[in-house]
Each structure stands twice: as structure tokens, then as C-alpha cells.
Chain A
Amino acid sequence: MNKMRLEFLSRSDNERFARTVAAAFMLELDPTVEQLSEVKTAISEAVTNAVIHGYDGSEGIIVLEGTLDKNAVKFSVIDRGIGIRDIEKAREPLYSGKPEMERSGMGFTIMEAFMDSIEVESAPGKGTRVTMTKTVEAEDEG
């Protein structure tokens, strides 16, 4: 069992910082390059959502929490931004709250595809917490 918690400003250059930290934290599970890449992508999506939508470009604090337990990893990305009014709508493929920014609307779809589970808790005016899990199966030897 291991835990981590990271707080950083909602700046777009911290998207890379956050996904790199998440990848480093789960190295203990001996993931494949592909699994690492999937987690990095999912974290990048969640943090980008917090920067663009949660804080809408203004400055706020984003929290990344990680838990390792046996061969599973759990990450939460938390903001205290504007929140999501309609979570179901936000999770629809190709739906973007900011189409004018050339956002693809595929962020949640990618998180769902690359992680085992994803849970979104949000309240307007309070913020959003996205929690994702992934089990790293041991590779068969030989």
C-alpha cells in the first residue's frame, strides 16, 4: 500500500507535470510501456478538464491523489472550480463544452477506454472529482 498527494496550480504546463508524476508513482507495479501511456493519457485528460472547464482559465488549485494497493492503482483529480451541471452529457462522446477551442469532446471517452473504471462526482459551484482505477496484471513470463 502506498499513497501520494500533489497540489499544483491550474496552469496548462502542469498537465505534463501531473501525468509524469502519476506515471512515476505507479512504476512500482512494473507496468508495460502501453499501460503507462494509457494512465498518462487519462490523467492528462482529467487535469486538462480541470484547467479548461473547472477553472475556465483562471487560477485555482488542482489536487492529484494516488493510491497503490497490490496490483491496482487509483487516481483522483480534484478541483474546486465551477463543477459540471450535467455529468451524463459531459461524458457523451464528441460532446464539448468548449467547441470554439477545437476541443474534440473525447476526453471522458478516452479515460473510460484507457482505465478500468471512472467515477465523476461534481456539484455546480463546488468543483469536480474524477476517480479512476486500473489493475496492472503481471505479465506472463516467457
Chain B
Amino acid sequence: MELSVIGKYKLLVARLYGELDHHGAGEIREAIDRELMRRGVRNLAMDFTNMGFMDSSGLGLVMGRYKKVSAIGGRLIVCGMNNNIRRIFQMCGLQRIAIVADSLEEGMEELDK
């Protein structure tokens, strides 16, 4: 995973790679939460463009991060999902609470609105 900050949007960007399951979710969660605190940003983008596989552990990770950023008045962007990952997110209604976008740029445009 790569973490970077886009100051203009007070946005932490987490670019995820490979496969997301229970085995790897804990480490990703800790890293994102640590950076959110340290960088003092309030919005979070999780970019799935380079993620080929995800199971329900990813849902738990994303819903948990949604709770974190909404508690500090921020918003969550989830972008770049393949069809399978998108279907899993739709099952729990992620599109109703987060900005779901094809690309990070598209997600950031929503933050402007």
C-alpha cells in the first residue's frame, strides 16, 4: 500500500495493491489510522485500481474507515474497483455513505461540490 496526502483536499490517499483478505486487513487498517492521526487530514480515499481480489474483510476495513473519517467530519472516497469488488461493496450499500467513483480524480471532484 502507498499512502500520500493531497493538502488541497485535506485528503489521505491509500493506494491498495494485490489481494485484500483477513490476513492483510489488520496491517492496512493500522497504517491508515496512524497516518490519518499523524497528518491531521479529515478525508480519506481508498483506491482499488491495483487490487485484484477482495473478500468481506475489505468491507469491514472500509466501513471501519468510514466511521473514523465521519467522526472527524470528513468524507470517504472509494474508487477504481473491478466488477467483483464493486458487487461486494454494493451488497452493504456503500454507495449510500461514501463517494464511489471510477477514478481518484472523479472522487475528488465530488469533494469540491
| Closest B residue by C-beta to A107 | B56
Tell me if A102 and B19 are in contact (CB < 8 A): no
Question: Which one, A38, A45, A113, contacts B91 given CB within 8 A?
Answer: A113
Tell me if B84 and A110 are in contact (CB < 8 A): no
Contacts of B64 in A (CB 8 A): 102
Contacts of A13 in B (CB 8 A): 23
Main secondary structure of the interface of B (DSSP, over half): helix
Tell me if B84 and A34 are in contact (CB < 8 A): yes
A135 interfacial by beta-carbon distance below 8 Å? no
Contacts of B23 in A (CB 8 A): 12-13, 15-16
A94 to B87, CA, bound (A): 16
Known: A37-B84, A38-B84, A48-B55. A110 touches B91 (CB 8 A): yes
Main secondary structure of the interface of A (DSSP, over half): helix
A48 to B19, CA, bound (A): 14
Contacts of B83 in A (CB 8 A): 34
Tell me if A48 and B91 are in contact (CB < 8 A): no
Starting from the known contacts A19-B53, A101-B60, 9 additional A-B residue pairs (CB-CB under 8 Å) come to A12-B23, A13-B23, A44-B53, A48-B56, A102-B64, A103-B57, A103-B60, A104-B60, A106-B56
Q: What are 15 inter-chain pairs, A to B, with CB distance below 8 A? A: A12-B22, A15-B21, A41-B55, A45-B56, A48-B21, A48-B22, A48-B57, A93-B91, A102-B25, A102-B29, A102-B61, A104-B92, A106-B92, A110-B55, A110-B91
Closest 7 CB pairs of A and B: A104-B59, A12-B23, A44-B55, A104-B60, A102-B60, A102-B64, A37-B84
